[in-house]
């Protein structure tokens, strides 16, 4: 995203540097109409930029915001969404002014373009709650950080957390029972929760609390046999309904033939991305 004034002042980026100068020159020259539009770079787009260095195509959605109270209110709504107060969908009609904003659920593509409009989902950075430290959990945390997730590792065992803090300094480490952290409001709609310890005392309680939230992904590691026994316990002891059970991905992850902790963690994060992007397994 790029925010720019006609004076040339700007913040953000469009492409990493290959079109920004041209775009800002056109903005200063008044070449963009005061309405929503999509301009293209590459593949016969804006002259003289007929081709991008990468050989690809970049479509840029251009919106105009007047210096008025309505725009301020709009940005305040976006700020709340970015801070975790629900997901928003911005419907930007092309060839017109303004946009429509409404609450939405996650699990869909963030940007959908059609000839008449562009729909954009706005929400907080995705969060991964790692319930309990294990070798698979540590790799999951590392992969999630690389993917831009906010990572929170919860474990009541200080000796386990000390090693994790050294290995993954970017993660937020909480010396607390994962279920307690979740019960105290640790989840929002962009949160994935993974229980990867094989310890029912940690994993089962985590799952019981997670299904009470609007987390978009809840998963637990274990074989098919172990997962079946766990679901029976959760029905019997935790009182979970079939709807609750249906939200839990167990066995967790995509079936990639994974054997090592890193490979298992890769399959877990791949499945989280699949669900977060609204894809069914049959679409892979």
DSSP assignments along 68-113, one per residue: SHHHHHHHHHHHHHHTTS-EEEEEEETTSSS-EEEEE-SSS-SEEE
Tokens 């019981």 correspond to 208
Give the model confidence (pLDDT) of 89-143 as tens digits.
999 999 998 899 998 876 667 889 999 999 998 888 889 999 999 999 999 999 9
Q: From the CB of residue 26, how many other CB atoms can be counted at a distance below 10 Å?
A: 16
Mean pLDDT on 143-148 = 94
Mean pLDDT on 75-95 = 88
**Rounded to an integer, what distance in angstroms lies between the CA atom of residue 279 and that of residue 136?**
24
Answer with the residue of higher pLDDT: 184 or 51: 184
**Rounded to an integer, what distance in angstroms lies between the CA atom of residue 245 and that of residue 21?**
52
Q: What is the CATH number of domain 127-283?
A: 3.40.50.720
**Rounded to an integer, what distance in angstroms lies between the CA atom of residue 80 and that of residue 99?**
17
Give the model confidence (pLDDT) of 253-270 as tens digits.
999 999 999 999 999 999
Cβ-proximal residues to 55 (8 Å cutoff; 6+ apart), any chain: 42
Mapped onto helix, strand or coil, the DSSP state of residue 4 is strand
**Rounded to an integer, what distance in angstroms lies between the CA atom of residue 29 and that of residue 163?**
56
Domain with CATH 3.40.50.720 in the chain: 127-283
Mapped onto helix, strand or coil, the DSSP state of residue 94 is coil
Measure CA 282 to chain center: 21
**Rounded to an integer, what distance in angstroms lies between the CA atom of residue 87 and that of residue 223?**
34
Confidence class of residue 168 from pLDDT cuts 50, 70 and 90?
Answer: confident
**b/e per residue 104-129 (b: at least 16 CB within 10 A):** bebbeeeeeeeeebbbbbbbbebbbb
What is the model's pLDDT at position 247? 96
Give the model confidence (pLDDT) of 204-222 as tens digits.
999 999 999 989 999 999 9
């Amino acid at each position: 995203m790029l925010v720019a004034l006609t004076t040339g002042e700007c913040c953000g980026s469009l492409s990493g540097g290959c079109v920004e100068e041209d775009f800002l020159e056109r903005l200063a020259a008044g070449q963009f109409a005061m309405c929503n539009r999509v301009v293209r770079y590459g593949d016969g787009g804006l002259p003289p930029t007929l081709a991008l260095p990468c050989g690809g195509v970049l479509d840029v959605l251009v919106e105009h915001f007047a210096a008025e109270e309505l725009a301020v209110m709009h940005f305040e709504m976006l700020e709340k969404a970015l801070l975790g107060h629900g997901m928003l969908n911005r419907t930007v009609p092309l060839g017109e002014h303004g946009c429509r904003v409404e609450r939405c659920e996650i699990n869909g593509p963030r940007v959908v373009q059609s000839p008449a409009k562009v729909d954009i989902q706005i929400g907080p950075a995705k969060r991964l709650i790692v319930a309990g430290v294990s070798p698979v959990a540590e790799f999951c945390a590392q992969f999630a950080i690389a993917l831009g997730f906010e990572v929170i590792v919860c474990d009541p065992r200080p000796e386990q957390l000390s090693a994790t803090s050294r290995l993954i300094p970017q993660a937020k480490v909480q010396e607390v029972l994962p279920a307690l952290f979740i019960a105290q409001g640790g989840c929002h709609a962009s949160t994935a929760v993974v229980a990867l310890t094989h310890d029912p005392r940690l994993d089962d309680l985590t799952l019981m609390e997670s299904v009470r939230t609007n987390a978009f992904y809840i998963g637990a590691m274990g074989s098919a046999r172990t997962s079946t026994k766990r679901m029976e316990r959760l029905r019997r002891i935790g009182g979970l309904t079939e709807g609750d059970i249906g939200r839990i991905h167990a066995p967790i992850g995509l079936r990639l033939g994974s054997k090592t902790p890193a490979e298992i963690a890769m399959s877990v994060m791949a499945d989280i991305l699949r669900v977060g992007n609204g894809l069914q397994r049959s679409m892979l």
